[in-house]
Structures are given as C-alpha cells and as structure tokens.
Structure 1
Amino acid sequence: MNRLIQYNYSKNPVVRHFYDSDKPLPIWALFEVMTLGNFGVFYSCLKGSVRQSISDDLKLPNNYDGPGLLERTIFVLKDLRNAIAHNSAVYDVRFKRAKVGNQLGQMLSSEVGVPSIDFSTITDYVVLIVYLLRKMMVSKTECYQLIRNYSSVLEDLHGSLSSSDFHKIVKTGARSKMDALRSYIAAS
C-alpha cells in the first residue's frame, strides 16, 4: 500500500503529510484522494456485513441484493461522472462501460414506478440519480428542480431537432418517465 500511496497520491498535501511523517494514513485522508472507481473497488472489498449495513442505511431493498446493487450503482455512476468530467457525449450513453445487468433496472422500476429502465438512455441515469438523492434525504424541492431542469433541456432539444432525430437521441417515453419520477418524489 505504501508504494501505491507514494506513487499515486504523493502530490496531495494531506497524504504527503502522513507519508513524510511516517504515520499511518487515516481512512478519511484516503477518501480525500480516492477516485470513484477506487471507491467502488474499496466498497466491493468490504466485509459482507458492512456492505449490508451500508445498504440498510440507504434503505435499499434487500429482495434485490442491496449490497450488490450498490456496488453496481457506484460503477454505473463512475462511467457517467467520467464522461461529464472529460466533456464526453452523455446524451446517447456511449460512455457506458460497466455491466449494469437487469437487476438494477428492475429494482428502480419497482421502487420508483418508472417502467423499462435499462440504462440505454440518459433519462434512466436521471432516474437513478434522483432515486439515490431521495435515499440520501435530499429535499423534494431539489429533486423536483433537477427534473425540471432536465425536462427543460429535453424540450429545448426537441424544439431544435426534427421529431425523428429527437427520438433517436432521447427515445420515446422520457416524458412519461419524468412524470413517474415526480410521482415517486411526491410519495417519498
């Protein structure tokens, strides 16, 4: 681990302080410099009971393997985050690298009431983000604002493209998914 810290993180002043002082690196300092991918690997290495406890804290449904779903969710979000951070196209989901599997989409469809979530459109990622925000107790107002902003972008895009081009990018059903997401927020 020392070689990993020395090689990858030695430029971070917090890590550098502990490393130069020959002191053990506290976990909080590691999280200061950890990438989302590293965090996903870290989470996947946790003992099953700890993963279950985290899943329980987020109130993820156990009938869908909450700890396993959270791990997949971290990697799904990592792909989206990296695309956004590196100015890659996100509208057509070509950034997707992680194997999502059906279970995450089925869980979201069941929990949120949004049909046909398969992460083939950016709208499905918006559903996931809003779901997680509500699980982390982010206010309904902020979640509604995110949906309003996303819907506004969709309307602007729809106004600037032909309907057939718009539906190639956004796919049909985006509006109904946002309506179902609003209903989920109202009920949560």
Structure 2
Amino acid sequence: MLNVAILIIPEGCAFGSFELLNLHHYMDSIQTNSINRRLLSLLETEIGTNGLDFKYIEAYVILITYVLRKMGVTKTECKQFINSFADCTNELRVQMSPNVCNQILGTQQRAHLLKLQEFISNS
C-alpha cells in the first residue's frame, strides 16, 4: 500500500522504478471480479462513467474521492486531491513510455477523472 501512497502524494511526484514495478505487480494481483459488483455498479452510476477497472489506480482514486465527498469533505478539497493525482500522473507520462504508462494507469484515466470532477462539481 505504501507504493500507492507514493504515487498520489503531490509533493512527492517522484516515480522510482522500484515503486512503480511494485505498484504494477500489486495492481495486477487484484482481480476485478474480487471487487463487489454492487460497489462497482454504484460508482459507475454515481460518477457517470463506464469501464471502471480496479486493475488501475484511478479506480481507487475514484472510490476514495467518492467516500470523502459522502463524508462531507468539501468540493475544493476533493478537487485538490484529484488535481494532485492528475498532476503526478501527467509527470509520470512524461517520464515513461506510453506503453508502460498505459499498463499502470490504463487508457481511460483522463476520461474517468473528468467524470469524477463533474460528479464533484454537481454534488
């Protein structure tokens, strides 16, 4: 779990190959079918997105943000969290090849984060 925290800490934005390798193996070890289908359906319905896959880190960011918002965390704080994550992943995309990034982040990350931003704005 430490590897996930390293990836989403905005001040860190440092992506060592060891941490990314561990993160990728961790994400690969999680099977989407082990995620409760009702939770997946709830998130997709509430956020307004399709194809959410817990094989990729943005699904966890969506889940965390959704729970934070439901707990009463302000829209501003939620958007700051999302923007910090997006900034870090954008930096990662600059540092690594698109193929490696897509294996770690997936190909729908930006679209999912846009939907999450819309959800926050409308909640």
| TM-score of the superposed pair, with normalisation by structure 1 | 0.51
Counterpart position of 1:64: none
Say if 1:140 and 1:186, in contact at 8 Å, map to a contact too.
Answer: yes
Counterpart position of 1:181: 116
2:42 to 101, 107, 112: 107
Counterpart position of 1:31: none
**Structure 2 alignment gaps of length 5 or more:** 6-18
Say if 2:57 and 2:104, in contact at 8 Å, map to a contact too.
Answer: no
**Structure 1 alignment gaps of length 5 or more:** 1-82
Counterpart position of 2:105: 170
Give yes or no for the alignment of 1:124 onto 2:59. Answer: yes
Shift of residue 120, structure 1, vs aligned partner: 1.1
| Cα distance in 1 for residues equivalent to 2:29 and 2:76 | 29
SS at match of 1:93: helix
Counterpart position of 2:12: none
Shift of residue 101, structure 1, vs aligned partner: 2.8
Counterpart position of 1:90: 23
Give yes or no for the alignment of 1:146 onto 2:81. Answer: yes
| TM-score of the superposed pair, with normalisation by structure 2 | 0.76
SS at match of 1:116: coil
Shift of residue 99, structure 1, vs aligned partner: 2.5
Residues 80-113 of structure 1 deviation map (CA, whole Å, 9 limit, x = unaligned): xxx228x873355246489213221111000111
Q: Which amino acid aligns with 1:114?
A: T
- Structure with higher Rg: it is 1
Say if 1:102 and 1:118, in contact at 8 Å, map to a contact too.
Answer: no
Identity of paired residues, percent? 30
RMSD: 2.4
| Cα distance in 1 for residues equivalent to 2:81 and 2:59 | 14
Q: Which amino acid aligns with 2:23?
A: V
Q: Which amino acid aligns with 1:84?
A: L
Counterpart position of 1:69: none
The runs of at least 4 consecutive aligned structure 1 residues that moved more than 3 Å come to 87-92, 94-98
| Cα distance in 2 for residues equivalent to 1:95 and 1:84 | 16
| Cα distance in 2 for residues equivalent to 1:145 and 1:90 | 23
